[in-house]
Amino acid sequence: MPLILPVKGITPEWQNDCFIAENATIVGDVKMGHHCSVWFNAVIRGDVNSIRIGNYTNIQDGAVIHCTYQTAATEIGNYVSIGHQAMVHGCTLKDRVLVGMGAIIMDHSVVEEYCIIAAGAIILENTVCESGYIYAGAPAKKIKAISAQQRELLDQLPDRYVMYSSWFTDPLK
């Protein structure tokens, strides 16, 4: 059973069609849309500010979603994939973003639509990642435009995670 805790009387909310892994942790002011998935050992901590997550977003194993007290809420759009052990903190991720494994996105940063944040990248505070590009490195820099194949991946990956989560909720699939 996942660890779901209210903080200051505010309990996390999500839709019935979401998948929450048994050992995921979700606390406080967190709201998720439809067909989201929160995978094993992921932590979504809305204790010091709000976290809003759109539809068809997947938060993969060991990822941490947090915010900063009174200054930086976290907003995650629709069709977003947050890779294993990534950290998303007090920032905005627009629709159809891929955050690679182990990447870090810091306060007041904005990642525009159809962006890929490479594995291990560090997006510093107040950075704006332009739509349609790959960002990599520490600190991250704009590397190149995403390809047609990568754009297609950004469109398909969220649906794959809906399928994967169905394996845990409907064992006949």
Euclidean distance between CA atoms 103 and 7, whole angstroms: 27
- Tell me: the pLDDT tens digits for 96-115? 999 999 999 999 999 999 99
Short-list 39, 95, 102, CA closest to 26: 39
Q: Is the pLDDT of residue 120 over 90?
A: yes
Specify the long-range contacts of residues 97-101, CB closer than 8 Å, at least 24 apart. 97/154, 98/153, 98/154, 98/157, 101/60
- Tell me: the pLDDT tens digits for 58-98? 999 999 999 999 999 999 999 999 999 999 999 999 999 99
Which helix (H) or strand (E) segment holds residue 47: the answer is strand 43-53
Q: Which domains does the chain have, with CATH numbers?
A: 3-169 (2.160.10.10)
The pLDDT score that the predictor gives to residue 169 is: 84
DSSP state of 33: -
Lowest mean pLDDT among 133-137, 153-157, 166-170: 166-170
- Tell me: the pLDDT tens digits for 7-56? 999 999 999 999 999 999 999 999 999 999 999 999 999 999 999 999 99
The pTM (predicted TM-score) of the whole model is 0.96
Residues in contact with 170: Cβ distance below 8 Å, sequence separation at least 6, in sequence order: none
- In terms of phi and psi (left: phi > 0; alpha: psi -120 to 50; beta: otherwise), the region of 35 is left
Residues β-bridged to residue 31: 13, 52
DSSP state of 13: B
Q: Is the pLDDT of residue 173 over 60?
A: no
- How many Å from the N-terminal Cα to the C-terminal Cα in the chain? 22
Position of tokens 């992921």? 42
Specify the long-range contacts of residues 6-11, CB closer than 8 Å, at least 24 apart. 7/46, 7/47, 10/46
Euclidean distance between CA atoms 80 and 113, whole angstroms: 9
